[in-house]
Structure 1
């Protein structure tokens, strides 16, 4: 069993651990942290690394808010902006057209809670990559667990030193290879073969 925090179209580092886990457990009781992968991901566009950030409502008090209770701020059309950014960046990639119809509903559905978005992105990637990993949700937060703990992968500053093998990217001739982008970058470039880049080699 492996413990993860649900994140927005998670970085490749997180999926490299997910596909090698027999069972995935999602942490539902952690405190929300700003500037983490909980509400953001990075893609590759013609100008280089691009941030896609989901705006969230922050509590008026200074008290901490659990990620599962974090509300999405839907005043700005962030879903339209994110989907347009993905189309602009990847419309000419080998596999974008293959997945775009299944991807579109995530940007059409109105969400209230951030965690619902993150779970839906996980379900989309799981289906796209035909992952067999089942997942459960925690009911309480604990600092000690019998599971392998990968919750730190939600922290942008706490990424593993090992790198997934390089693959061809849309604009690597202009900017060079950019590692550990959103899983979408690998999916749109490699399609079903993305699994071979994520699997740990003996």
Structure 2
């Protein structure tokens, strides 16, 4: 069994992911033994553009097995998705106040090829925690079980479910004059807009 704040390994996680971390002063436990669930934030993130929400999806290698554990999911590099994702991020956020401040930190994830999705996502989470100045112990689950003590967010943070963040604090977004404020995008939307003050909006 695991204790702490149990979270899925999401790709460039959304604001509510880090809201949960900030509001719950517990060690972070990243789930690694779940069967990989399709069409979730494990391989998907959402950014704000002039046309509204844009989904960026990391392709994975589909093996013969129907069920694959999260810690065995491999990233597929047959197509240049890294270049396309980074181009989309640049296009959306180049004019943000703090894009250049964090640009080098995030561009590295679109240059290096990670074998496993779990490693790729976890390294992003660690970086973002550092940028948000949230000092929290982080580890992997030791088995797939119920939470003995703590909070389980493994299924709560999902594209088809309401955000667990009850009352999101609005902040300036690049395309807000066209789209209105869009809550719960990838946390990079908040970081590129608010920089060192981003933590105050969680």
The TM-score by the shorter chain falls in which range? over 0.9
Which 10-residue stretch deviates more, 168-177 or 154-163?
Answer: 154-163
Q: Residue 19 of structure 2 contacts residue 165 of structure 2 at CA under 8 Å; is this kept in 1?
A: no
Of residues 159, 178, 199, the one that matches 1:174 is 178
Counterpart of 1:53? 57
| 1:15-65 superposed Cα distances (whole Å, 9 cap, x missing partner) | 101123331111111111111000110000111110110001122233x11
- In structure 1, C-alpha distance between the alignment counterparts of 2:120 and 2:147, rounded to whole Å: 27
Match of 2:83 in 1: 80
- Contact 2:27–2:138 at 8 Å: present in 1 too? yes
Corresponding residue for residue 148 of structure 1: 151
- Deviation, 1:192, is 1.2
Is residue 95 from structure 1 mapped to residue 103 from structure 2 by the alignment?
A: no
TM-score by length of 1: 0.93
Q: In the alignment, what sits opposite 1:162?
A: 166
Report if aligned partners of 1:37, 1:155 keep a CA contact under 8 Å in 2. yes
Map 1:1-202; keep pairs closer than 5 Å.
Answer: 1-20=4-23, 21-62=25-66, 64-158=67-161, 159-160=163-164, 162-198=166-202
**Counterpart-to-counterpart distance in 2, 1:109 and 1:173:** 35
The answer to whether the 8 A contact 1:13-1:153 is kept is no
1:161–1:154 CA distance, 2 compared to 1 (3 A):
closer
Q: CA deviation at 1:152?
A: 1.7
1:144 Cα deviation after fit: 4.0
User: TM-score, normalising length from structure 2?
Assistant: 0.93
Aligned residues of 2:16 and 2:165 also touching (Cα < 8 A): no
Q: Number of residue pairs matched?
A: 197
Q: What is the distance in 2 between the residues matched to 1:7 and 1:194?
A: 19
Structure 1 runs not aligned, ≥5 long: none
Over aligned residue pairs, what C-alpha RMSD do you find?
A: 1.2
Any idea what SS the aligned residue of 2:156 has? helix
C-alpha distance in 1 between matches for 2:165 and 2:19: 13
